[in-house]
C-alpha cells in the first residue's frame, strides 16, 4: 500500500497542498510548528475517520474557514484507490471511495490501512485501559470489516442497559434486567472473541519484535485481561462464556445498584503488559516504556501485513530522534519490509542517516517542497 498523491484544502495550516509521493522512505524536515505532524494527521484522518491526537474536526479546519478536504490516491493490492473526505461545519463529514459516496465513514475502514508512531503512543503503556481497548479495536476494524458494527451494537446495548440502571435508580424490574443482560451477552460474544484471538496473536509476535528493538533483553509479555473473567470466548464455547458473563453480572449486581453502571463485560477489557514478571506501567523506566509502546505498534504492522495481506502506510512522527543508533536502525529495517514510510523530524541531524533511496521534503509554514 502506498500513497501516490495527497491533496489538502484548508486542513490545519495548509491552505492548499498537492503532494506526489513514492513508495519507500520519505523524510519531512522542518522547524517546530511548520506542519509536519499535520501532514501525517491528515493521512491518518482519511484512513480511519479520526485524528490520532483526538482533535475534533472543528479544530482541524484552517482557522476562519468553513470546512476542510483531504484526498488521497493510493496504490493497493486491489489496484488504485481514491479516497476523498470533505468536512464542513454545516454538513459534517462526507467520504467517497473511487468516486462513490459512502454512507458512513466506517464503510471505508480497512481499505486504506495506516499505522502511526508518535510520541503520544506512550499512552498505550502508561495510560488507562481505554487506550489499549482502542488499540485493539482499531486494529480489528482494519482487519475485519464486520467488527465495527459488532462494536457499535455492543456499545448501544451497553448504553441502554446503563440508562435502565439510571432510570430505575439501580433497581430495574427483574424481567427487564434479564432481557438486557441477555442482549448484552449476545452482543458481547463476537467482540470478546475477536479481542481474545487478536491478543493471542499479539502475544505471539511481540517477543520477537521487541527482541529486535531491545537486543537480548527479557521478552515482554502481553496478556488479555477480559472484562468477563473465567471463560475464553470462542464460537464453540459461546455457552460457557455466556454463563461466565451472567455470573459476573450477578456478582456485581449489588455494586451496580449503587453505582448505576454496568461493571462487567468487554467494555472493561484490558491488556496487561509485563516485563520480567512486573507491570511495565508501574515498574519500567521511561525508555523501556517507550520501547514497549513501539513494540506494540510494530506488532500492529506485523499483523496487518500477515493477516491483512498488505503492508500498511507507516507514519513516524518525531520518533527517530528519541532512539539510539541501534534501535533506529532496527526500526527502519523492520519498516522497510515493502510499502511506504513517511517520517518527520525537526532537523536532519547526523543521527538520521539518509539512505540513497530515501526522498527528502522541506516543510515550512504549511508548504512542502521537494528537497
Residues that bind ligand ATP (CB under 6 A): 12-13, 30, 32-38, 59-63, 318, 346
261 or 346, CB closer to Mg ion? 346
Return the one option of ligand ATP, Mg ion, none that residue 356 interacts with (CB less than 5 to 8 A, by type): none
Query: 175: buried, middle or exposed (CB in 10 Å: 19+, 13-18, 0-12)?
Result: exposed
Q: What is the CB neighbour count within 10 angstroms for residue 197?
A: 15
Q: Which of residues 28-67 bind Mg ion (CB under 5 A)?
A: 37
Distance of CA 90 to the CA centre of its chain: 28
253 or 362, CB closer to ligand ATP? 362
61 or 316, CB closer to ligand ATP? 61
For residue 118, report the phi and psi dihedrals to the nearest 5 degrees. Answer: -145, 165
State yes or no: residue 262 binds Mg ion (CB under 5 A): no
Return the one option of Mg ion, ligand ATP, none that residue 35 interacts with (CB less than 5 to 8 A, by type): ligand ATP
In whole angstroms, the minimum distance from the beta carbon of 332 to ligand ATP comes to 20
In whole angstroms, the minimum distance from the beta carbon of 58 to ligand ATP comes to 9
CA distance 33 to 238: 52
In whole angstroms, the minimum distance from the beta carbon of 44 to Mg ion comes to 13
User: Phi-psi bin for 135: left (phi > 0), alpha (psi -120 to 50), beta?
Assistant: alpha
63 or 356, CB closer to ligand ATP? 63
254 Cβ contact partners less than 8 Å away, ≥ 6 residues apart: none
Return the one option of Mg ion, ligand ATP, none that residue 38 interacts with (CB less than 5 to 8 A, by type): ligand ATP
CA distance 165 to 257: 7
Q: Are 223 and 203 in contact (CB under 8 A)?
A: yes
State yes or no: residue 340 binds Mg ion (CB under 5 A): no
Q: Are 62 and 14 in contact (CB under 8 A)?
A: yes
120 or 129, CB closer to ligand ATP? 120
Return the one option of Mg ion, ligand ATP, none that residue 142 interacts with (CB less than 5 to 8 A, by type): none
Q: Residues interacting with Mg ion, by CB under 5 A?
A: 37
Amino acid at each position: 500500500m502506498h500513497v501516490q498523491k495527497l491533496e489538502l484544502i484548508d486542513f490545519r495550516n495548509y491552505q492548499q497542498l498537492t503532494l506526489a509521493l513514492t513508495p519507500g522512505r520519505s523524510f519531512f524536515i522542518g522547524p517546530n510548528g511548520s506542519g509536519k505532524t499535520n501532514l501525517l494527521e491528515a493521512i491518518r484522518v482519511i484512513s480511519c475517520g479520526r485524528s490520532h491526537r483526538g482533535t475534533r474536526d472543528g479544530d482541524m479546519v484552517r482557522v476562519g474557514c468553513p470546512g476542510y478536504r483531504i484526498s488521497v490516491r493510493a496504490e493497493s493490492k486491489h489496484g488504485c484507490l481514491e479516497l476523498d473526505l470533505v468536512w464542513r461545519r454545516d454538513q459534517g463529514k462526507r467520504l467517497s471511495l473511487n468516486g462513490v459516496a459512502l454512507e458512513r465513514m466506517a464503510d471505508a475502514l480497512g481499505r486504506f490501512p495506516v499505522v502511526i508512531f508518535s510520541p503520544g503512543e506512550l499512552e498505550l503503556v502508561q495510560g488507562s485501559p481505554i487506550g489499549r481497548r482502542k488499540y485493539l479495536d482499531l486494529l480489528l476494524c482494519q482487519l475485519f470489516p464486520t467488527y465495527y458494527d459488532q462494536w457499535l451494537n455492543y456499545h448501544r446495548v451497553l448504553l441502554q442497559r446503563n440508562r435502565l440502571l439510571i432510570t430505575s435508580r439501580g433497581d430495574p424490574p427483574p424481567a427487564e434486567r434479564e432481557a438486557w443482560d441477555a442482549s448484552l451477552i449476545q452482543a458481547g460474544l463476537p467482540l470478546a472473541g475477536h479481542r481474545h484471538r487478536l491478543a493471542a496473536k499479539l502475544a505471539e509476535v511481540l517477543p520477537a519484535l521487541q527482541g529486535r528493538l531491545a537486543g537480548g533483553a527479557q521478552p515482554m509479555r502481553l496478556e488479555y485481561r477480559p472484562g468477563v473473567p473465567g471463560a475464553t470466548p470462542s464460537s464453540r464455547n459461546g455457552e460457557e462464556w455466556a454463563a461466565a458473563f451472567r455470573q459476573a453480572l450477578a456478582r456485581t449486581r449489588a455494586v451496580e445498584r449503587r453505582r448505576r453502571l454496568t461493571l462487567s463485560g468487554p467494555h472493561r477489557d484490558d491488556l496487561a503488559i509485563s516485563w520480567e514478571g512486573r507491570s511495565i506501567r508501574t515498574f519500567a523506566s521511561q525508555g523501556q516504556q517507550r520501547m514497549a509502546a513501539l513494540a506494540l505498534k510494530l506488532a500492529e504492522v506485523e499483523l496487518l501485513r500477515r493477516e491483512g495481506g498488505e503492508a500498511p502506510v507507516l507514519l513516524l512522527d518525531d520518533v527517530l530522534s528519541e532512539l539510539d543508533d541501534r534501535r533506529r536502525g532496527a526500526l527502519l529495517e523492520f519498516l522497510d519490509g515493502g510499502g511506504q514510510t513517511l517520517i518527520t523530524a525537526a532537523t536532519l541531524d547526523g543521527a538520521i542517516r539518509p539512505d540513497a533511496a530515501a526522498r527528502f521534503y522541506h516543510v515550512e509554514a504549511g508548504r512542502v517542497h521537494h528537497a
